[in-house]
């Protein structure tokens, strides 16, 4: 990020003045991060304190009780396992299938190539909601309702991943290298596994991280497929710990703590792979 | 590229290879995209409720949409978000990317901070804000009271503003990073020659940065239109984890078309009507994003 800064002189200071710029930026930083801090403080409160009629800033005596309820006395660990399995499964299938397809576009010329590519990219225009009813009927027919496969497979048609990997492979895998491997007598499969995949690894990693985070956060489709609490992923499960007054009000402490904990896997992944992640999300926005 | 007999053999084989590589994708694509899409169009022209299917061609579903106030209400919700939240988020990210790109000390740290909410799930983002904005125990009203201001009904009368705030909070850091990447891709030579020509900062921004940033901006506008059209999770959570309370005045304020077609399909089990609604949503999204998409870098091989 930003190796090629242009105007080293602090231009914006001259235009609007440093305090204004810095103040605004700090305020926005506060806006982005303060909700997490507040949420963390909330997890340390007793259920009654969380819901105290006029609200409160700090717990009387902070405790980790909510965490121990969440992990040892609720269904949350199961949801976490479901989320991990569904997200990992989705990531593996999507990246593998997309890598194979992307390689076909990056290396070969074939009839209808441009049209097929346009059609695949066009899929991003179709709201998932348009497919939802037929997919639901299909899933019932295949007996995939309320299963991991049912959550994982339908959304794996992923144009963004293919788009990114085509661009990545075109620049990271030299055609000459593939040609000379062919002349040396390597089989196609060997070339793909031994030459293409290793060279494309950073691009694949970028897509793996991006897709994992996306799947971890997915809500709409799992909400339709998953029917029993033991199969829920975290985003599907959390809203069932209702906060509506008059229903199961006393589960707010679980909902709040569970929502806070749900951030950890993605935040950690984001922190250790910042570079890949940024690469992944800027795919499609910047050519190449 | 003729390389004798063996070279020819390779070239012939290579005609089949692209399709072998494409095969797994094409299977998934046919089963879980092409077929459901055609099927969806088909059942939208039939009467199809659970346990009751009449395949005769009918325009009933589409006629019903014309007079369906719940659907058009949802459509105005989307229009409002598109007209208010979208420009605010885009302009905010453009300004912040420009400021951090053109050298503020620690700009990168700011960007990482702005980016943090984008790794939270939509459900978590909406849950956090629903707790902050809760009229009874939320911290925001507590804060307002403690400085002597009247508390507000953030999840009632003001729920649209609260919804737009959640979307903005969750996404603007993502936009900043993308616009920043777009700015970094602009060749430095252009800036240097502009400097030599003596054009000022603002002029340079208008003449060089903005035009070259157009594909990037079109891309983020495209992605935001698509995500507004698909809006579901955030309003769902802000209504307390339910779409079904759609009849109350407060929930109608943020009852989106996708929430509505979800209810039609999975609460009333009227598949035909839900499919028809989804095609109208698709057409609206398509018309509003196609022109934008064509100007972005996306879709070009």
pLDDT category of residue A81 using cuts at 50, 70 and 90 = very high
Mean pLDDT of B71-93: 93
Interchain proximity B104–A224, CB inside 8 Å? no
| Chain centroid to CA B245 | 24
- Cβ contacts of A110 on chain B, cutoff 8 Å: 15, 18-19
E strands within A106-145?
none
Categorize the per-residue pLDDT at B13 as very low, low, confident or very high, splitting at 50, 70 and 90: low
Q: What is the CATH number of the domain that holds B192?
A: 1.10.3720.10
List phi, psi (to 5°) of A52. -60, 135
**Cβ <8 Å between A266 and B123:** no
Return the SS3 of A129: helix
- For chain B, give percent helix, strand, coil, nearest 5: 75, 0, 25
Number of A/B CB contacts below 8 angstroms equals: 335
Phi and psi of B50, rounded to 5°? -65, 130
Report pLDDT for B77.
93
Mean pLDDT, residues B219-224: 87
pLDDT interval class at B301 (50, 70, 90):
very low
Cα–Cα separations (whole angstroms), residue B167 to A214, A270, B182, B207: 16, 20, 22, 31
- Structural domain tally of chain B? 1
Query: Using N-to-C axis directions, what is the helix angle for A201-217 and A274-282, rounded to 10°?
Result: 80
All residues at 6 or more sequence positions from B79 whose CB lies less than 8 Å from its CB, including other chains? none
Distances (CA, A) of B235 to A106, A240, B159, B246: 41, 15, 9, 11
pLDDT confidence of residue B131? 87
pLDDT of residue B5: 47
Give residue B106's Cα distance to chain centre. Answer: 30
The CATH number of A74-282 is 1.10.3720.10
Is B38 domain-assigned?
Answer: no
Dihedral sign computed on CA atoms, order A278, A234, A83, B220 = negative
Q: Do B124 and A235 touch (CB under 8 A)?
A: yes
CB atoms within 10 A of CB B101: 25
pLDDT of B298 reads: 60
User: Please, which pLDDT band fits residue A176 given cuts at 50, 70 and 90?
Assistant: confident
The pair phi, psi for residue A8, each rounded to 5°, is: -65, -30
For residue B206, being part of any structural domain is answered with yes
Rounded CA gap, A29 and A26, in Å? 5
Of residues B13, B25, B286, nearest to A97 (C-beta)? B25
- DSSP-assigned beta bridge partners for residue B270: B49
Q: Which residues form the domain of B212?
A: 60-114+172-295
Contact A219, B121 (CB under 8 A): yes
**pLDDT tens, position by position, B260-283:** 999 999 989 999 999 999 999 999
Structure tokens at A282: 């800027």
| Structural element, H or E, at residue A266 | helix A252-272
Yes or no, beta carbons of A11 and B102 under 8 Å apart: yes
Residue from the list B18, B139, B230 with its beta carbon closest to the beta carbon of A128: B230
> Mapping DSSP to helix (H, G, I), strand (E, B) and coil, where does residue B134 land?
coil
For A225, counting Cβ atoms within 10 Å of its Cβ (0-12 exposed, 13-18 middle, 19+ buried), the class is buried
Q: List, for residues A89-138, the tens digit of each pLDDT value.
A: 999 999 999 999 999 999 888 889 999 999 998 898 899 999 999 999 99
How far apart are alpha carbons B69 and A278 in whole angstroms? 42
Asked whether A234 and A86 are in contact (CB, 8 A), the reply is no
Length of chain A equals 288
Q: Please check whether residue B120 lies inside any domain of the structure.
A: no
Cα A279 to Cα A256: distance, rounded to the nearest angstrom: 32
Distance CA A4, CA A15 (A): 22
pTM for the full model?
0.88
Percentage of the residues of chain B whose pLDDT score is greater than 90: 39
Query: Hey, which of A176-190, A238-252, B27-41 has the most confident mean pLDDT?
Result: B27-41
Indicate whether B275 belongs to any domain: yes
For the residues A261-273, what does the mean pLDDT come to?
Answer: 88
pLDDT of residue B9: 52
Mutate to test the interface with A, among B116, B172, B291 (most CBs of A within 10 A): B116
A57 and chain B in contact, CB less than 8 A? yes
Distance CA B9, CA B4 (A): 9
Which percentage of chain A shows pLDDT scores above 70? 87
| Residue in this structure with the two tokens 């769902």, named with its chain if needed | B236
**What's residue B3's pLDDT?**
44
Angle between helices A113-122 and A76-107 (to 10 degrees): 160
How far is B155 from B133, CA to CA, in rounded Å? 7
What residues of chain A, 122 to 161, have a C-beta less than 8 Å from chain B?
122-138, 153-157
For residue A250, pLDDT over 80 is answered with no
* Count of C-beta atoms within a 10 Å radius of residue B58: 14
* Residue B36 pLDDT exceeds 50: yes
pLDDT at B247: 61
């Amino acid at each position: 990020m930003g190796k090629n800064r242009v105007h080293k002189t602090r231009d914006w200071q001259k235009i609007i003045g440093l305090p204004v710029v810095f103040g605004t930026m700090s305020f926005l930083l506060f806006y982005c991060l303060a909700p997490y801090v507040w949420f963390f403080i909330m997890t340390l409160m007793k259920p009654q304190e969380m819901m105290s009629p006029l609200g409160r800033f700090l717990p009387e005596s902070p405790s980790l009780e909510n965490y121990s309820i969440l992990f040892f006395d609720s269904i949350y660990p199961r949801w976490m396992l479901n989320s991990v399995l569904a997200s990992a499964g989705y990531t593996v299938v999507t990246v593998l299938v997309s890598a194979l397809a992307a390689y076909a576009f990056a290396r070969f010329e074939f009839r209808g190539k441009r049209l097929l590519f346009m059609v695949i990219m066009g899929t991003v225009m179709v709201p998932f909601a348009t497919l939802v009813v037929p997919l639901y009927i299909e899933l019932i027919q295949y007996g995939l309702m309320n299963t991991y496969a049912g959550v994982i497979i339908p959304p794996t048609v992923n144009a963004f991943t293919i788009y990114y990997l085509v661009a990545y492979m075109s620049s990271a895998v030299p055609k000459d290298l593939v040609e000379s491997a062919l002349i040396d007598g390597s089989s196609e499969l060997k070339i793909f596994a031994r030459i293409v995949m290793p060279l494309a690894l950073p691009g694949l990693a970028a897509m793996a991280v991006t897709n994992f985070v996306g799947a971890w956060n997915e809500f709409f489709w799992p909400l339709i497929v998953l029917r029993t609490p033991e199969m829920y992923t975290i985003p599907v499960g959390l809203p069932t710990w209702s906060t509506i007054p008059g229903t199961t009000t006393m589960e707010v402490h679980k909902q709040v703590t569970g929502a806070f904990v749900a951030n950890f896997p993605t935040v950690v992944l984001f922190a250790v792979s910042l570079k890949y992640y940024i690469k992944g999300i800027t795919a499609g926005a910047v050519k190449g | 590229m003729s390389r004798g007999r063996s070279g020819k053999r390779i070239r012939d084989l290579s005609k089949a290879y692209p399709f072998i590589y494409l095969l797994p994708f094409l299977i998934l694509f046919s089963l879980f995209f092409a077929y459901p899409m055609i099927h969806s169009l088909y059942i939208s022209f039939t009467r199809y409720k659970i346990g009751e299917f009449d395949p005769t061609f009918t325009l009933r579903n589409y006629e019903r949409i014309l007079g369906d106030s719940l659907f058009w209400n949802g459509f105005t919700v989307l229009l409002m978000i598109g007209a208010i939240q979208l420009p605010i988020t885009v302009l905010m990210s453009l300004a912040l990317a420009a400021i951090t790109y053109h050298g503020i000390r620690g700009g990168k740290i700011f960007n990482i901070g702005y980016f943090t909410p984008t790794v939270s799930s939509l459900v978590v983002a909406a849950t956090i804000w629903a707790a902050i904005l809760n009229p009874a125990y939320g911290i925001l009203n507590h804060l307002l009271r403690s400085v002597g201001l009247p508390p507000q009904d953030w999840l009632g009368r003001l729920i649209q503003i609260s919804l737009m705030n959640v979307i903005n909070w969750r996404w603007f850091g993502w936009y900043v990073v993308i616009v920043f990447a777009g700015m970094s891709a602009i060749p430095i030579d252009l800036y240097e020659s502009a400097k030599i020509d003596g054009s000022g900062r603002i002029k340079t921004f208008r003449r060089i940065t903005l035009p070259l940033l157009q594909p990037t901006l079109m891309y983020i506008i495209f992605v935001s239109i698509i995500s507004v059209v698909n809006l579901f999770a955030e309003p769902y959570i802000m209504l307390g984890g339910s779409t079904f309370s759609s009849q109350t005045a407060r929930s109608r304020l943020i009852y989106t078309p996708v929430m509505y077609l979800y209810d039609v399909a999975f609460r009333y089990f009227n598949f035909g009507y839900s499919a028809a609604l989804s095609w109208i949503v698709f057409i609206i999204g398509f018309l509003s994003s196609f022109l934008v998409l064509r100007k972005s870098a996306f879709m070009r091989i």
